[in-house]
């Protein structure tokens, strides 16, 4: 097809737009509104409260966090749903569910080499040392000889009865049958991935868990690098006995979830959902998500009550058990009035990266960078399996969120990057339900899931940056109109233009180095198709009778296709 005059003009406008700040006309008023309000005080105060607890669904720390959220929501003007009237725009509820198994929490634990004057480990400094769902030992502890297990094969030849097994080569799952079937007293393990830098962070222990079995209670202890090295050094000298003391609580409880809503004024049956999980015992993971989201909810209420803001669509804040609560909220349509248009997960959003390492990341919805990860695209240390073309989720949300966060990054001198889709947090249930959803997080964090993820690793400034950009993004979408759509069309066209230019250069280099022209053409065609379908997704915001805007979308798609060369 020969380019029309309209198409040439559009291509020129795309090139011009790519040099300027996309979306600025519609987002700037919201940035000016939110930036003076988002101080981070409530977010940081909440993190300090939440991170003192070891949290899984149903236990004391998890439930106290729920009640704290409810208290702060009420202070911000949110009304408990059962007491709310039809005129109340700010409401919340606490959902209560039966749990399939009891909850658990650690009280205290210690590990001591018999004859030593000091503990090898103590829960006072290593609260992740005892495996989740470990049972208690007798009050005076369990004492036994330590047997080192060097391999799975060697385990079958060892008489384990009355012994405490230790391995840095064999997983707990392999060792556990020796406890249940062969009379071993318990298990000591060491297993830390390299990205945690265990030889530097020698006291870190990453939390581990065992399967709850009321008929066969068991305990296991995870070791730090320092403790592992000391124990191996003692074993090299000869026989070693240790005493393990553990006190835990395993009890029946209920699972709680907090859902807060800001009802839209014009289109209340359309919504954006923010989700932050409470469970996991760290400060950054995920007390920062809990706290940042709570301040976002408070600021939204305050701005609306003061008449500085209105939201046409409904804004929802969800706090609960990771993935489980979000998935259930999506599926239980009878418990919510609004359809979900967008979902955004806040997970590990408050890091002091000078201390933790890594950077702030936006994990994108599946796009071709999750099939062909090249150029500046890079997976995190978490990693992700290569996706297929049919796994793609073309949508404007990726570039829309990135553009807004980059604007905040430029304003605050804050580094913002992306990673291809990997999964593993509250964004996945949205995507599984075919709802646009992505993740705000940090990685690589050298204290991830360890007992060194404490308040001193948290940055109030980072929470301000994440919360500000997240709220501005939400306000823009919830109030999206024709002007917003115009900016989205131009922004996506510009992003497609830039991406295709980049991919063409990468493909030409691969071909010059002997790569397959056919394979490289597939990459370019897939990116073009992705952006054509992304442009289509904007139609969700366009009235069916707005023929002018719909025609602009058609022209923009033609412009994207016209930029793909035949290699």
pLDDT digits (tens, 9 = 90+) for 220-261: 999 999 999 999 999 999 999 999 999 999 999 999 999 999
pLDDT number for residue 177: 87
Q: Would the pLDDT of 21 be above 80?
A: no
Residue the block writes with tokens 């709802």:
435
Contact 341, 436 (CB under 8 A): yes
Q: Which residues does 81 contact at the CB level (< 8 Å), separation at least 6?
A: 91, 92, 93
Tokens of 411: 């304003």
Find the helix or strand (DSSP H, E) in which 72 lies.
helix 60-75
- Whole-number pLDDT of residue 329: 97
397-412 helix and 482-512 helix, angle to the nearest 10 degrees = 90
Residue 5 binned pLDDT confidence (cut-offs 50, 70, 90)? very low
CA-CA-CA-CA dihedral for 47, 53, 57, 59, to nearest 10: -140
355-364 pLDDT, tens digit per residue, is: 999 899 999 9
**Bridging pattern class, strands 163-167 and 90-98:** unpaired
pLDDT in tens, 441-483: 999 899 999 999 999 999 999 999 999 999 999 999 999 999 9
Higher pLDDT, 518 or 544: 518
Tens digit of each residue's pLDDT (9 = 90 or more) over 474-529: 999 999 999 999 999 999 999 999 999 999 999 999 999 999 999 999 999 999 99
Q: Which letter does DSSP use for residue 158 in this model?
A: S
3, pLDDT greater than 50 = no
Pairing state between β 103-113 and 437-443: unpaired
The average pLDDT across 527-541 equals: 97
Using a 10 angstrom Cβ sphere, with 0-12 exposed, 13-18 middle and 19 or more buried, the burial of residue 293 is buried
pLDDT at 350 over 90: yes
Between 23 and 321, name the one with better pLDDT.
Answer: 321
Are 270 and 341 contacting, i.e. CB atoms less than 8 angstroms apart?
yes
Contact at 8 Å (CB) between 259 and 318?
A: yes
| Mean pLDDT confidence for 120-131 | 98
**Over pLDDT 90: what percentage of the chain?**
91
Q: Is the peptide bond before 152 cis (omega within 30 degrees of 0)?
A: no
313 by DSSP, 3-state: which? strand
pTM confidence score = 0.95
Mean of all residue pLDDT scores within the chain: 94
Residue 13 has pLDDT above 90, yes or no: no
């Amino acid at each position: 097809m020969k380019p029309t005059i309209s198409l040439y003009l559009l291509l020129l406008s795309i090139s011009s737009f790519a040099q300027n700040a996309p979306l600025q006309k519609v987002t700037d008023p919201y940035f000016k509104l939110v930036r003076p309000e988002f101080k981070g005080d409530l977010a940081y105060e909440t993190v300090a409260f939440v991170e003192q607890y070891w949290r899984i669904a149903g236990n004391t720390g998890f439930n106290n966090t729920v009640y704290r959220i409810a208290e702060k929501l009420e202070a911000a003007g949110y009304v408990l749903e059962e007491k709310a009237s039809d005129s109340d725009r700010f409401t919340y509820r606490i959902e209560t569910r039966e749990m399939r198994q009891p909850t658990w929490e650690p009280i205290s634990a210690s590990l001591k080499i018999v004859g030593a004057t000091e503990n090898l480990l103590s829960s006072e400094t290593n609260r992740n040392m005892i495996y989740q769902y470990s049972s208690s030992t007798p009050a005076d502890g369990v004492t036994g000889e330590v047997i080192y297990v060097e391999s799975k094969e060697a385990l079958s030849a060892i008489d384990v009865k009355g012994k405490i097994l230790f391995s840095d080569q064999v997983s707990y799952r392999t060792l556990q049958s020796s406890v249940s079937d062969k009379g071993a007293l318990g298990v000591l393990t060491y297993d830390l991935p390299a990205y945690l830098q265990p030889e530097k962070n020698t006291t870190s222990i990453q939390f581990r868990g065992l399967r709850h079995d009321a008929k066969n209670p068991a305990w296991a202890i995870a070791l730090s690098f320092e403790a592992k090295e000391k124990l191996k050094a003692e074993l090299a000298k000869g026989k070693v006995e240790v005493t393990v003391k553990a006190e835990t609580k395993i009890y029946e409880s209920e699972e709680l979830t907090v859902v807060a809503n800001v009802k839209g004024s014009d289109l209340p049956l359309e919504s954006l959902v923010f989700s932050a999980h409470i469970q996991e015992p760290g400060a950054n993971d995920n007390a920062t998500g809990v706290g940042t989201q709570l301040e976002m909810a408070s600021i939204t209420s305050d701005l609306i009550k003061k008449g500085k803001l209105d939201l046409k669509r409904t804004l929802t804040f969800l706090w609960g058990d990771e993935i489980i609560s979000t998935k259930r909220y999506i599926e239980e349509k009878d418990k919510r009035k609004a359809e979900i248009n967008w979902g955004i997960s806040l997970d590990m959003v408050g890091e002091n990266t000078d201390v933790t390492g890594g950077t702030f990341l936006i994990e994108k919805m599946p796009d071709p960078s999750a099939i062909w990860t090249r150029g500046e695209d890079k997976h995190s240390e978490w990693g992700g399996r290569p996706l297929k073309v049919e796994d793609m989720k073309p949508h404007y949300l990726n570039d829309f969120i990135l553009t807004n966060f980059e604007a905040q990054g430029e304003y605050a001198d804050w580094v913002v990057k992306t990673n291809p889709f990997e999964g593993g947090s509250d964004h996945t249930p949205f995507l599984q339900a075919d709802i646009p959803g992505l993740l705000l997080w940090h990685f690589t964090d050298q204290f991830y899931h360890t007992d060194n993820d404490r308040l001193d690793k948290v940055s109030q400034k980072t929470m301000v940056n994440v919360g500000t950009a997240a709220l501005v993004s939400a306000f823009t979408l919830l109030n999206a109109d024709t002007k917003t759509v115009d900016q989205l069309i131009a922004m996506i066209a510009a992003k497609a233009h830039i991406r295709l230019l980049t991919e063409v250069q990468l493909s030409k280099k691969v071909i010059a180095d002997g790569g397959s022209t056919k394979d490289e053409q597939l990459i370019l065609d897939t990116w073009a198709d992705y952006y054509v379908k992304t442009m289509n997704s904007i139609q969700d915001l366009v009235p069916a009778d707005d023929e002018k805007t719909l025609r602009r979308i058609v022209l923009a798609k033609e412009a994207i296709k016209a930029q793909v060369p035949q290699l």
